[in-house]
Amino acid sequence: MAGATILGGIAGPELSRAERDFFRAADPWGFILFARNVDTPDRLRRLTAELREAVGRNAPVLVDQEGGRVQRMRAPHWTDWPAPLDQAGRGERAVWLHHHLLAQELRAVGIDADCAPVLDIARDETHPFLKNRCLGSDAETVIRLGRAAAQAMLAAGVLPVVKHMPGHGRARVDSHKDLPVVEASLDELRASDFAPFRALADLPMAMTAHIRFTAIDDAPATASAPVIEMIRREIGFDGLLMSDDIGMQALSGSPAERAAAAIAAGCDLVLSCNETLAQMDEIVAAAGAMSPRAALRAEAALALRRAPVQQDTAALRAELAALGGLAA
């Protein structure tokens, strides 16, 4: 099992010698890829293999591949997927097909975890950066379609990472740029925002929200021990909990200080997407090694990383196309 509580990103489509040496020494739990790392299928397969070789084990490789504006792998080599909220309007079967076929494409290039589905509830006030990434505008719909999406990915051999716990839908600003402040009462949050995460608390991995909930704490959820405690005890999530990207401007302090705050609050892992190797070295030192409890959660999550269920891909794509669920 990994020593460092970090999910690290890399600079380009090839692993540099300096990155290889850093990862070998730091031993991160896993890796996350972005559009800057994606070229051809062959190069991407080679990259995922080299990342695992650098740490000497079958480390998880993650990506954000939702559909719509958030998809790192695109045409001509991969499918351009509609936004999840658009797909949700076509029904549960379309959502299942979307996520299963998407996960097949990931698995084929060595990516075995996807930061999806989004379980936030779309509202009138939801910021545009998030709104069409959601699966519905009420908890019941998000629960039903979120379960379908997660099961579809698991059947394709890809682990889902639900986000953004305990709920990002009320945010009126983009947490990449500012700290959203949500002033809803705890009763309101329990009745709606928390409900999808509570219903899907059995899933293996989740990502936090960089949001301040005034009813709970002054700190953003990612760095808030009271919020993380609520995620664990009230929402009932005992899976592997990672921070959202610590480079986002909703958080304050240096990257190392942000990482330390997230781990101290109770996150199991820190997600470092755009930091330099020098900054990641500081993050590793600040975050420390995975706790025994985090290591057990990580082991349980990876135990669900199974061989794909064999499916007739052409038939599934034809079915989704008939539902109107494939982008032109």
| DSSP states of 13-82 | SS--HHHHHHHHHH-EEEEEE-GGG---HHHHHHHHHHHHHHHTS---EEE-EEETTEESS-TTTS--PP
Which residue's entry shows tokens 């001509």? 76
Upper half-sphere CA count for residue 56 (Cβ side, 13 Å): 8
Maximum separation of any 2 CA atoms in the chain, in Å: 52
Catalytic residue among 86, 176, 238, 281: 176
Among the listed residues 64, 120, 217, 244, the single catalytic one is 244
123 backbone dihedrals φ, ψ, rounded to 5°: -125, 170
CA torsion sign, 63 to 190 to 5 to 280? positive
- CA dist list (Å): 2 to 75, 96, 269, 270: 34, 32, 11, 13
86 is catalytic: no
Residue 164: strand, helix, or coil = strand
**Residue 176 is a catalytic residue:** yes
Residues 4/256, Cβ–Cβ less than 8 Å = no
Task: With beta carbons less than 8 A apart as the criterion, state whether 245 and 271 touch.
Answer: yes
Backbone angles phi, psi at 325, to 5 degrees: -100, 15
Residue 125: DSSP 8-state: T
* Residues belonging to the active site: 176, 244
